[in-house]
Amino acid sequence: MTSIRKKIRKKRGYPVAILIGFEPKKAVLWEIFSEKVKPLETIILKKRREKLAENELYNFHEEIINSIRSHLKDGLRSLIIANPRNSLFSEQFQQHIQKHHKWLSQEKSTNLLMIGTIEGAASNAEDVSELFQAEAFKTIIAKTTAKEANNIIEELEERLQMVSQGEVVLYSLQEIEELIYSQWKYGKRQPEYVMLTNTYLEKHKQKQRLHRLLQILENKKVKTKVIDVDTVAGERITQFGGLICFTKFVEN
């Protein structure tokens, strides 16, 4: 008999950042997870960047934003740009964001995008693999995600200070389940943003129950964020058990 080996799928883990590899005639987009990297899209130009008219460069940058928009709205706030040596590709893209996408560039915004740039290529899987082994890349990832975590902790502290004014923050899996499954009995509330540490995700005793909830949250377009327990934000969330849910009041 011929034995059939079951293919083992490598876990992707949780989303960490978006990676953009800029080249003279294209941009290659990747989603970085804690366990692997997933290709998102390749956007091809018909001519080299230096030959583009202003409106053509605008359209190119808008195509990139549109490709990653859903990931940004889901709460992914770290963006890493791999840039050829001596090029202005990263600088031009960041200027585009600052000029045309204030929702991603305002300092006080909860949508603030944390951007890190590294010299190198990310055009294919081999490039990305090589990039990931570089200490400079690990450093830029750590710095960018740490900035993102700091921004999250500021929002967390603001919400906690508003609890006495009627803000509702949940700290248990059961409470969030009751809210998401419409069994909540304490006013018209909906989950707005769920944050949990990577340790809570990895070591929870009822993983199937937790993953089911996270899938439902994703289906309902509720922002979720897994935060490294070793960051300031991760340490703060751990003080509340490793899981926190912001809620919002709805009229209907």
* Ranges of CATH 3.30.1330.30 domains, the chain: 162-249
Q: Tell whether domain 162-249 is in CATH 3.40.190.10.
A: no
Query: Is 23 a residue whose pLDDT tops 90?
Result: yes
Report which DSSP code applies to 123. S
Q: How high is the mean pLDDT of the chain?
A: 87
- Residues 64-107: tens digit of each pLDDT: 999 999 888 888 889 999 999 999 999 999 999 999 999 999 87
- 54-68 average pLDDT score: 96
What span, in angstroms and rounded, lies between the C-alpha atoms of 192 and 110? Answer: 13
Query: Radius of gyration (Cα) for the chain, nearest Å?
Result: 20
Nearest partner of 244 among 165, 145, 152, 181, judged by Cα = 152
pLDDT interval class at 5 (50, 70, 90): very low
Of 62 and 2, more confident: 62
- CATH classification number, 15-151, choose in 3.40.50.1370, 3.30.420.10, 3.40.30.10, 3.30.420.60: 3.30.420.60
* Ranges of CATH 3.30.420.60 domains, the chain: 15-151
At 184 the pLDDT is 55
At 1 the pLDDT is 42
First to last CA, the chain: 62
Query: Is 187 a residue whose pLDDT tops 90?
Result: no
Query: Is 221 a residue whose pLDDT tops 90?
Result: no
What span, in angstroms and rounded, lies between the C-alpha atoms of 74 and 70? Answer: 6
CB 118 within 8 Å of CB 131: yes
Query: Is 183 a residue whose pLDDT tops 70?
Result: no
Q: By three-state DSSP, how is residue 37 classified?
A: strand
